[in-house]
Amino acid sequence: MIPTEKKPEEKSNLFQKLALLIPVWVQMIICAGAVMVAFINSPVLIEKFFASPTSTPMFASATVLPATDAMMTQPPPIVASATPTLVPGQDWSDDCINSAVWKPYLAGETRSEQSQCHQLSEWGIKAEQGRLIFASNRYSQPRANEYGILAPWNNWREVDFTVVADRQENSEIWFGFFEGDTIDSNGIVFVIQPGDEIDVRMMPYETEAVNNIDLKYADGKFHPRIIFEGGKIGVWVDQQDIITKWPVNFQIRNMFVGYRALPSANLNVAVFDLKFKP
């Protein structure tokens, strides 16, 4: 007998029975595999997923605003200078009389310094180990001359320093304050003379001696302290009062450190430990 063909209902029942026998998680794996095969075999899906950099990104990024004219014209930030401003006397520690701080002074002579440090050895002036040295023999000099350096005065309230005179003949050490850039302008000058005698003189041309003091036991070493307060000046040397509250009737713009050499001058002096208080 020839078997008869099975009916469609019987096929359907067979698939239903098979589905009941396969676990649900196996069915999920089979479905995922089918999706992956379809993705790999579809160039269109691959092109959309791996989009070029110019296409729309999958994840939104932070909004970047275009630069405006106002933004482009803003000034750049202020950057501190790499070279700090030196306080007068700090440069002496580098064996230098810094041309950015000091201006050489000799009456009737103008110098143009091409280097960072002034070279003043012909005047008997140099910086060495934190000291300003005056070492000079002026035996052939026919008249008195002042040699020194000027620095801008920064409205300090007090300045003090130390002077050691190993040898001082026919010469004076000057530490002064002037309205102009010359010692012939209005000013006041602190003067150390041979024999440990100190005085304070008004300028120009030393028209008036403010006061003086004789320090017989100084042995050539002095520690002056000069204070400016309320338009007046006070001077102490080794805690001894020379002048107190003497009126200063001019604006101080420059400070002078130097010496006066008389005919036959011979000196070896050091000025150091220069300090300022605001």
**Tens-digit pLDDT profile for residues 46-70:** 444 444 444 433 333 333 344 444 4
CATH code, domain with 225: 2.60.120.560
Sites in the chain below the pLDDT cut of 70: 1-84, 110, 112-113
pLDDT at residue number 207: 80
Q: Give the position of tokens 């014209």.
A: 73
Residue 72 in domain: no
64: Cβ–Cβ under 8 A, 6 or more apart, which residues?
none
Question: 153 lies in which domain range?
Answer: 90-277
How many domains does the structure of the chain reveal?
1
pLDDT at residue number 148: 96
pLDDT at residue number 112: 66
Residue 95 in domain: yes
Structure tokens at 97: 């009389």
Residue 101 in domain: yes
Residue 187 in domain: yes
- Stated as kind and residue range, the H or E segment containing 46 is helix 43-49
Residue 163 in domain: yes
Residue 238 in domain: yes
pLDDT at residue number 142: 81
pLDDT at residue number 215: 87
Residue 65 in domain: no
Residue 118 in domain: yes
Cα 213 from Cα 200, distance rounded (Å): 9
Cα 257 from Cα 220, distance rounded (Å): 17
